[in-house]
Chain A
């Protein structure tokens, strides 16, 4: 009972976590802050089983049944107890969540043919929380659709643990820690934007074992290998174009849950930012891998993490910032984000890791994909990847029609001996 009380605290409202606070101010019809995780099954989705599974899962995640509301000083999440919408996956991906409809949640389930997708607004959770939700949903779905009691994801069978709603950023905040140094503006891809709706997605499939073997042979992890590939190609494009900032940086998000043994399902991740300064000369691929490895190692060091968390949370703790009304705070936050946010990096690549299903349902799942949120118009192209069983799917989300980066990325991987298959372009 004690645990139940802790998991289901008096659900009336929740503060936005520290990472989420910026999203209501900066997001809109194009920069939506919405990401998607999809699973592709081997047979068509049984709709009544999915509807039942979504209702059962929503009961386990009451803190997801919330809507975004405007307070006088901050936005907040108000509990409404509604189940998520299940919609036909027929339009563009990662559309924003309307804020004017009363009772509208900030996540949804989409279905089409063999695929089930969940789309989350980043104010609610990050990729780690979304995967936890999707795994729970699939456990219930396979039970309802095929009567499978040997659930494919036993690690989430107990549902969310105590502490699922904690904002761990504020808990790990320490006063008086010096802020990390401010970075010089990074170079941005010079491509022109597509007409509205701008967001375009391209997916590639790679055998997970081959990718792991290639990364191992290069002496790094899959994340480091793909981040190095992206950084190396951005360097090539920057040198071809010949002008712009000499700093090329790739944002690589990393999950903090394992490090802090955290059970929170709210945002709890930070970024490493491997960088190249082309004034130092051309970097070979091996040199790029070394830079990426060192930077990720350094940025995931506990002291560095504490420093970044303290920098991020200090603004929220500032008494002056707290008492400024939201109608002033929001435009200021938007201005500051546009001035200091996307200027810091060139692109992003996020690895959601490996999902390993077990039991008879494992055979019924073919692949998974992650669609990163539509990028800022300065960034233009971002990437994400996730591995399910034997398949890794890399997804590029782009605001431009120019496929140069994606095509160079695939060529680089095939040149390294990896078989890359185009899965879809939407």
Chain B
């Protein structure tokens, strides 16, 4: 007679592994206790939502191409709608299929964004804005997001300090945006509105950091804003 050390049941003749505590099925669908069922339920839920979303998007592509082909006698404006929906498909699939792998998600979504902007630029007259503004803006957004995630992973408690990091990243991003737009429109860089926005964001970030480390002592966002 062998008894499971965990749940204490008699495993019967010739069994040394408890099927309740160590189920043989895949880790993702492993159900050992009632609480596990909810993890599986969440996985199934997100899969259902993803499938519905994909169905709607693919239907959108089909319908717009069909309308353009029938009434426009070819593919003209539907190229743009198809590109937009294709971009959405890439973004949603990247986020859903690579969930848990944050840096990979950033790489894939950044690549999809750059490709999307380049295609839009090409379909709307090839002015080159995707190379001069779109590419650096998408890259800087991806790098700043990665930096926020990295800094967040170093923090023991994720509370208002996370919001502060996001504010600092946004402040930097506004400066980059103004620089890129100035270069595109005027070929000369002069700091103006971005300084005001960045300064305001930095002040709010400092207040958040003060509250987080001095007043709330690392209270988590979940506790602070729970509904």
Q: Does A associate with B in a complex?
A: yes
A contact set with B: CB distance below 8 Å: 43-50, 85-92, 95, 97-98, 100-102, 104, 108, 110-114, 119
Q: List 27 A-B contacts (CB under 8 A).
A: A44-B10, A45-B9, A46-B9, A47-B4, A47-B9, A47-B10, A47-B11, A47-B20, A49-B12, A50-B9, A88-B18, A90-B7, A90-B33, A91-B34, A91-B35, A92-B35, A95-B38, A98-B37, A98-B41, A100-B45, A102-B44, A111-B20, A112-B7, A112-B8, A112-B9, A113-B8, A114-B8
Are B40 and A101 in touch, CB under 8 angstroms? Answer: yes
Are B44 and A88 in touch, CB under 8 angstroms? Answer: no
Residue of B nearest to A86 (CB): B20
Out of A43, A85, A114, A119, name the residue touching B31 (CB < 8 Å).
A85
Interfacial chain A residues near B4, Cβ < 8 Å = 47
Out of A48, A88, A97, name the residue touching B7 (CB < 8 Å).
A88
A44-B3, A111-B9 known; 19 new pairs, CB 8 Å cut-off, are A45-B10, A47-B12, A47-B19, A48-B12, A48-B15, A85-B37, A87-B20, A87-B36, A88-B20, A88-B21, A90-B6, A95-B34, A98-B38, A101-B44, A102-B44, A104-B41, A108-B34, A113-B8, A113-B9
B contact set with A: CB distance below 8 Å: 3-4, 6-12, 15, 18-21, 31-38, 40-41, 44-45, 48
Are A88 and B6 in touch, CB under 8 angstroms? Answer: yes
Residue of B nearest to A102 (CB): B44
Interfacial chain A residues near B48, Cβ < 8 Å = 100
A88/B32 contact (C-beta < 8 A), A47-B18, A47-B20 known: yes
Residue of B nearest to A44 (CB): B10
Residue of A nearest to B226 (CB): A196
A89/B7 contact (C-beta < 8 A), A48-B12, A98-B37 known: yes
Interfacial chain A residues near B37, Cβ < 8 Å = 85, 95, 97-98, 101, 104
Interfacial chain B residues near A108, Cβ < 8 Å = 34
Out of B10, B19, B21, B34, name the residue touching A46 (CB < 8 Å).
B10
- B48 vs chain A, min Cβ distance (A): 7
Interfacial chain B residues near A111, Cβ < 8 Å = 7, 9, 20
- A214 vs chain B, min Cβ distance (A): 35
Interfacial chain B residues near A43, Cβ < 8 Å = 10
Residue of A nearest to B15 (CB): A48
- Compute how far the CA of A407 lies from the CA of B47 in the bound complex, rounded to whole angstroms: 48
- Compute how far the CA of A369 lies from the CA of B217 in the bound complex, rounded to whole angstroms: 45
Are B10 and A88 in touch, CB under 8 angstroms? Answer: no
Interfacial chain B residues near A97, Cβ < 8 Å = 37
Interfacial chain B residues near A48, Cβ < 8 Å = 11-12, 15
- A379 vs chain B, min Cβ distance (A): 23
Residue of B nearest to A104 (CB): B37
- Compute how far the CA of A85 lies from the CA of B48 in the bound complex, rounded to whole angstroms: 23
Q: Which of A46, A49, A86, A119 has the most CB of B within 10 A?
A: A46
Are A100 and B21 in touch, CB under 8 angstroms? Answer: no
Residue of B nearest to A43 (CB): B10
